[in-house]
């Protein structure tokens, strides 16, 4: 599928260890001439971590996309009414955000952007990254797998030995998942068995 001129919202939530992989995919989307709208949760927008300073991450994303990051509920609310997005990607999507989506909680820019986008029955793609995917978050993942308009980037256990309940998306599948979701298809397989 040609992604040129497609309006793609990209929401980043707090799984900071995957930010560099997501930013690489944002660059690829822009290279393919997609219109990328960056959105960040409060924590991903404001917190400095061992993976980078928030101001540097924000500056890089804004430079790549040529757009100011949406980071408040007020900025995110018009996304649906103004038809600002054809498809939305949450990458990374933390267990916290999965729980909010599964239970209808809107308390930050990320969840408001998703809710506003979904009012138009457009696809929402989830790139899960959480340490409790096979425990506390499993129920919420299951809820979203059974809802219309939700699609998952294929994922695997992050580290079965030291983090046996942790799940992480495979970033090499992000663009293919978006392409399939545009056609209302879930890319298969969702669960990956090999570890890179």
pLDDT band at 194 (very low <50, low <70, confident <90, very high): low
CA–centroid distance for 147 within its chain = 16
194 C-beta neighbours (distance < 10 Å), count: 6
In tens, the pLDDT along 76-95 reads 999 999 999 999 999 999 99
Res 196: pLDDT:
52
Q: Whole-model pTM?
A: 0.96
**Residue range 171-186: mean pLDDT, rounded:** 98
Residue 56, SS3 per DSSP: helix
pLDDT band at 195 (very low <50, low <70, confident <90, very high): low
In tens, the pLDDT along 157-166 reads 988 899 999 9
- CA–CA separation, 137 vs 147, rounded Å? 16
């Amino acid at each position: 599928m040609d992604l040129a001129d497609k309006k793609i919202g990209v929401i980043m939530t707090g799984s900071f260890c995957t930010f560099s992989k997501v930013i690489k995919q944002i660059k690829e989307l822009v290279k393919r001439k997609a219109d990328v709208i960056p959105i960040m949760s409060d924590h991903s927008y404001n917190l400095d971590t061992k993976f980078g300073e928030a101001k540097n991450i924000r500056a890089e994303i804004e430079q790549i996309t040529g757009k100011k990051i949406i980071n408040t509920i007020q900025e995110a609310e018009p996304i649906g009414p103004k038809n600002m997005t054809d498809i939305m990607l949450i990458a990374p999507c933390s267990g916290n955000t999965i729980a909010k989506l599964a239970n209808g909680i809107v308390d930050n820019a990320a969840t408001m952007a998703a809710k506003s986008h979904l009012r138009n029955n457009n696809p929402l793609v989830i790139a899960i990254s959480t340490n409790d995917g096979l425990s506390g978050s499993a129920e919420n993942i299951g809820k979203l797998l059974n809802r219309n308009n939700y699609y998952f980037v294929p994922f695997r256990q992050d580290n079965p030995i030291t983090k046996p309940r942790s799940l992480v998306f495979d970033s090499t599948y992000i663009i293919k998942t978006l392409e399939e979701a545009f056609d209302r298809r879930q890319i298969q397989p969702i669960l990956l068995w090999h570890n890179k």
